[in-house]
């Protein structure tokens, strides 16, 4: 029953995304070369970052500091590029910064048994304070040259951004990882039931830390993808972006309780949330309406998740007269 509900949701999401694309193509300049290019350029880092958040949410945790982590990554990449360091160096350097900061969140969460939402909310505020206090000009770097922007602005066939190709392969890779590898199955198991995971020989704490480390790596990639589309870097521009990524994951069917969801659903969720946002722009709504929309989307997605879980619980209880708790399952 639960599996069929998720599959139906994913199919519906894909249909809605197709309808939105058709609507925008018929009513705006969305179907022009520049419109398609802008769409793929903007959605690429969002897809990668939404996958990053999904990995953490699969374990039953969350990261409210993802946006500010991306700000540090962008600053690191920009500073190195300003010094003449090439892309092949500042990309992995930025990824290491993402891994270190996200890994610290995971370590504090499991070491001191503090809920991840508390840890990452606190770290989010620490990061913002660090921007203003220790980074020169709050981290603003300007007049970066082609050494920095060639990847972000580069395109295949004059229409497909390099970043979109990268996001496509990252999506395929993590669809495979979540379905066929021990790491993916461990994430589902820990998010479904920690006790059951332990009985299966899985170390929950180690798995959660690995999820945060992998999240940091993907946030590093996403931040560099986004930052290199501009000739300047300002870390504060990434503040609050995690709400968009969380919305995408939840709309895509990733359960806020952990243990359930698919990477394909996350990708469809990212596309839908983005299309809703740009539709509001075309309709003339101000930016703050987009934040309100994201809040409504998160509430609706959580409500659907809670409703689905309650229905499953009632169905299970009728059949077995007991309910052992959530169970993770494969993608």
Q: Round to whole Å and give the CA distance between 196 and 147.
A: 50
Find how far residue 214's CA is from the centre of its chain: 12
CB atoms closer than 10 angstroms to residue 165: 15
Q: Is residue 64, in this structure, part of any structural domain at all?
A: yes
Interior/surface letters 166-181, b for 16+ CB within 10 angstroms, e for the rest: bbeebbeebbebbeee
Give the 3-state secondary structure of residue 285: coil
DSSP 154: -
Backbone dihedral angles phi then psi of residue 141, each to the nearest 5 degrees = -125, 130
Q: Is residue 330, in this structure, part of any structural domain at all?
A: no
Of residues 279 and 198, more confidently modeled: 198
Q: Is residue 255, in this structure, part of any structural domain at all?
A: yes
Which of 243, 209, 279 minimizes the C-alpha distance to 49? 243
Q: Say if CB 75 and CB 272 are below 8 A apart.
A: no
Residue 157 corresponds to which tokens in the numbers above? 């066939």
Handedness of CA 28, 32, 33, 39 (dihedral sign): positive
Q: Is residue 331, in this structure, part of any structural domain at all?
A: no
pTM over 0.95: no
Q: Kindly report the CATH number assigned to the domain that includes residue 66.
A: 1.10.3470
User: Which pLDDT value is given to residue 278?
Assistant: 82
Please count the structural domains in the chain: 1
Of residues 305 and 86, more confidently modeled: 86
Q: Round to whole Å and give the CA distance between 114 and 58.
A: 18
Q: Is residue 250, in this structure, part of any structural domain at all?
A: yes
Q: Is residue 329, in this structure, part of any structural domain at all?
A: no
User: Which pLDDT value is given to residue 72?
Assistant: 97
Stretch 322-331: mean pLDDT: 44
Q: Is residue 328, in this structure, part of any structural domain at all?
A: no
Q: What range defines the domain where residue 19 resides?
A: 2-320
Helix (H) or strand (E) holding 155: strand 155-156
Q: Is residue 208, in this structure, part of any structural domain at all?
A: yes
Tell me the pLDDT band of 67, cut-offs 50, 70 and 90: very high
Reply yes or no on whether the pLDDT at 6 is more than 70: no
Stretch 97-125: mean pLDDT: 97
CB atoms closer than 10 angstroms to residue 45: 28
């Amino acid at each position: 029953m639960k599996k069929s509900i998720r599959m139906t949701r994913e199919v519906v999401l894909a249909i809605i995304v197709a309808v939105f694309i058709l609507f925008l193509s018929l009513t705006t300049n969305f179907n022009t070369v520049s419109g398609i290019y802008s769409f793929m350029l903007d959605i690429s880092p969002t897809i990668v970052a939404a996958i990053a958040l999904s990995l953490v949410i699969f374990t039953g945790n969350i990261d409210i500091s993802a946006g500010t982590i991306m700000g540090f990554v962008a600053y690191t990449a920009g500073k190195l590029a300003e010094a003449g360091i090439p892309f092949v160096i500042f990309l992995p350097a930025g990824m290491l910064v993402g891994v270190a900061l996200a890994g610290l969140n995971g370590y504090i969460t499991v070491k001191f048994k503090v809920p991840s939402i508390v840890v990452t909310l606190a770290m989010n505020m620490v990061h913002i304070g660090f921007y203003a206090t220790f980074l020169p000009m709050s981290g603003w770097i300007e007049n970066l040259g082609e050494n920095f922007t060639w990847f972000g602005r580069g395109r295949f066939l004059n229409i497909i951004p390099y970043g979109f190709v990268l996001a496509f392969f990252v999506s395929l890779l993590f669809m495979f990882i979540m379905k066929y590898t021990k790491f993916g199955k461990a994430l589902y198991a820990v998010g479904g039931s920690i006790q059951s995971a332990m009985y299966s020989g899985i170390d929950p704490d180690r798995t959660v830390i690995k999820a945060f480390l992998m999240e940091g790596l993907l946030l590093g990639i996403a931040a560099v993808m986004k930052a290199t589309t501009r000739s300047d870097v300002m870390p504060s521009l990434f503040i609050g972006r995690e709400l968009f990524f969380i919305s995408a994951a939840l709309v895509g069917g990733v359960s806020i309780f952990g243990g359930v969801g698919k990477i394909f659903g996350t990708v469809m969720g990212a596309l839908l949330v983005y299309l809703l946002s740009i539709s509001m722009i075309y309709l003339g709504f101000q930016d703050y309406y987009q934040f309100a929309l994201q809040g409504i989307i998160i509430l609706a997605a959580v409500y659907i998740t809670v409703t689905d879980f309650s229905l499953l619980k009632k169905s299970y209880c009728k059949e077995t007269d007991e309910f052992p708790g959530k169970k993770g399952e494969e993608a």
